[in-house]
Chains A and B, each alone.
Chain A
Amino acid sequence: MSTSKKIVIIPAYNEQGGIEKTVRDILEHAPDFDYVIINDCSTDRTLEVCQKNGFHVINLPVNLGIGGGVQTGYVYAWRNGYDVAVQFDGDGQHNARYLDAMADKLEKEQLDMVIGSRYIKKEGFQSSGIRRLGIRYFTTLIQLVTGQKITDPTSGMRMVSRDVIGLYAENYPKDYPEPESVVAILKKGKRVEELPVQMNAREEGVSSISPRKSVYYMIKVSLAILIAAVRR
């Protein structure tokens, strides 16, 4: 295949149970990719697990939350000349066997982002009904403001081109960043497509979006999408 430099960005907050499996999965199924773990000041033994295994880890001295963590990865990818970067959860939800296909699609179709979507083939873990409803709402909202249908806008499995690595290194939402950041690049005329993937139910850790926070989440992300839509 091509000689482009590719990196997997693994944001990890308290993923002591899942991080090792995640890295092994990448090493085995996506050997063309470098990887970097962003340890977001975990309070469990995530860092020790990484060090014990000699994993490549960037250690944040204070907790930044998912947005600031992932962005650290994009800054790293930008400065180290990577052509392709992909976000990949550290909790075993994502499968590395799709990474090559995503990279192929990105390069062959000259795209700026390929999102791993659970909802094209509707196989594998589909999330709970109420969450699917919320995701469908975001799909509709994004389609309204950008004209493009993104079936899985909250997917944390997203591969981007060097252009977008630069944009995200510059500017990335702090919390609940996925839907908003897709709209931001669509508005800049970037090309986003999806690839059907299967995800697994979370084995370790808990979702960052508890029921109590979900109302705040819906309002914040809706507003963020609308603002991203009218930004420059």
Chain B
Amino acid sequence: MSFKIQMIVAAIVLFALLYIANMVRRETLDIKFALPWLTVGAAVLVLDMFPGIMNYLVHLLGIELPVNMMFFFGFCFTLLLVFSLTVKVSRQSEQLKRLTQEIALLEEGMGKEKIKEGEVFKKKDES
């Protein structure tokens, strides 16, 4: 890997890291959700600065090309992240459902109280 490429990658990753850090600072992104991305950014940066680590790992795992290892781990990371998001969405849809139900039930209860107090409309008699 040429020194030039190394520098370009480092610049891009640094920019991304700063961008994410700034979002956390401005509270548009929760640190809990920024953490996986910051970790990946840091890891890429380390591998970029010290290509020896990569060569060592590739050799250790018996993978032919370093780039294959990057794709493999990148894919695994993405899969993990997407799955964890699916789990979160599922949980949040349940929470959202409960909240919606509670709001509706609360509103119904308030309406009843108003009826009792004779504030709102009189319930039409069914006959």
Contacts and interface: CB of A to CB of B under 8 A. Distances in A.
Nearest to B121: A54
Contacts of B1: none
Interface residues of A, number: 18
Main secondary structure on chain A at its contact with chain B? mixed
Given A27-B126, A54-B123, A54-B124, A76 B100 contact: no
Contact of A62 (B100, B108, B122, B124): B100
B105 A58 contact: yes
B103 interface: yes
B97 interface: yes
B31 to A, nearest CB: 29
A87 interface: no
A75 B105 CA distance: 9
A64 B97 contact: yes
Interface in B68-118: 93, 96-97, 100-101, 103-105, 107-108
B104 A68 contact: no
B105 A61 contact: no
A68 B107 contact: no
22 contacts: A54-B121, A54-B122, A57-B108, A58-B105, A58-B107, A58-B108, A59-B104, A59-B107, A59-B108, A60-B100, A60-B104, A61-B103, A64-B97, A64-B101, A71-B97, A71-B101, A72-B105, A75-B101, A76-B105, A76-B108, A79-B105, A174-B97
